[in-house]
């Protein structure tokens, strides 16, 4: 099946492509709007600031194609910034509008622990995934993971969905529950980087490719 990775200058794409190859996919990296809209599976990666990511999509006229692809309910994976941009708006460097596929805001990670101590932001490193809502991981992109799976994060902002039921997984950050993964229908997003998360990340990509 044709797996497309969106190329909009937002970094880390070659690590994603290598991980997809290990997971069994021959993915194509492109900024061609026609190929993106007609993909069979679409992956939107990304690192960096929310507003810069959205501007890069808009300059390349890719926003309509991505929205049209998602409307057809085909498998979609957003990674890190690629997941955040699915939401309505971000507070990063002032309010910025996102793709609006999901309702909710992208907010800064708290710089104090629940106990009131100052903590370092960004959240960088390995954290354990735990269920984020009542929905089961069965038949999701997280199915079949080992007990207490750990994945790799690098982020200063996190998504706060209006629909709590789409939060598939969360992680702990000094007592705060951060959204780690979301899923609604064929839309899956992970705040962490599966391409940097070893065997667990590889399993997640394999699960996505089986959708």
Q: Which residues are catalytic?
A: 80, 193, 195
Report the DSSP beta bridge partners of residue 158: 107
Separation between Cα atoms, residue 135 and residue 62, nearest integer Å: 32
Strands (E), 80-174: 87-90, 96-97, 102-108, 123-128, 130-131, 150-155, 157-161, 167-173
Whether a cis peptide bond, with omega within 30° of 0, leads into 153 is no
Separation between Cα atoms, residue 95 and residue 34, nearest integer Å: 30
Give buried/exposed letters for 119-155 (b at 16+ CB in 10 A, else e): bebebeeebebeebbebebeebbbeebeeebbbbbeb
Which residues neighbour 70 within 8 Å (Cβ) at sequence distance 6 or greater? 42, 76, 101, 187
Phi then psi for residue 149, to 5 deg, are -70, 135
- Which sign does the torsion angle of CA 45, 73, 41, 207 carry? positive
Which residues neighbour 138 within 8 Å (Cβ) at sequence distance 6 or greater? none
């Amino acid at each position: 099946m044709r797996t497309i990775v969106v190329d909009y200058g937002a970094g880390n794409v070659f690590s994603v492509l290598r991980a997809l190859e290990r997971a069994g996919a021959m993915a194509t990296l492109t900024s061609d709007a026609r190929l993106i809209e007609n993909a069979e599976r679409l992956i939107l990666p990304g690192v960096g600031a929310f507003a810069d990511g959205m501007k890069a999509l808009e300059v390349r006229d890719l926003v309509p194609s991505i929205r049209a692809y998602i409307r057809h309910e085909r498998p979609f994976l957003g990674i890190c910034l690629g997941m955040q941009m699915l939401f309505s708006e971000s507070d990063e460097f002032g309010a910025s509008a996102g793709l609006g596929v999901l309702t909710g805001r992208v907010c800064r990670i708290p710089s104090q622990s629940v106990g009131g101590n100052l903590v370092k932001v960004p959240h960088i490193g390995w954290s354990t995934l735990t269920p984020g809502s009542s929905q089961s991981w069965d038949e999701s992109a997280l199915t079949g993971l080992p007990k207490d799976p750990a994945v790799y994060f690098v982020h200063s902002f996190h998504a706060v969905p209006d629909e709590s039921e789409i939060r598939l997984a969360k992680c702990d950050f000094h007592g705060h529950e951060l959204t780690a993964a979301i899923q609604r229908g064929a839309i899956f997003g992970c705040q962490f980087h599966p391409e940097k998360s070893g065997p667990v990340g590889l399993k997640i990509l394999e699960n996505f490719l089986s959708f």
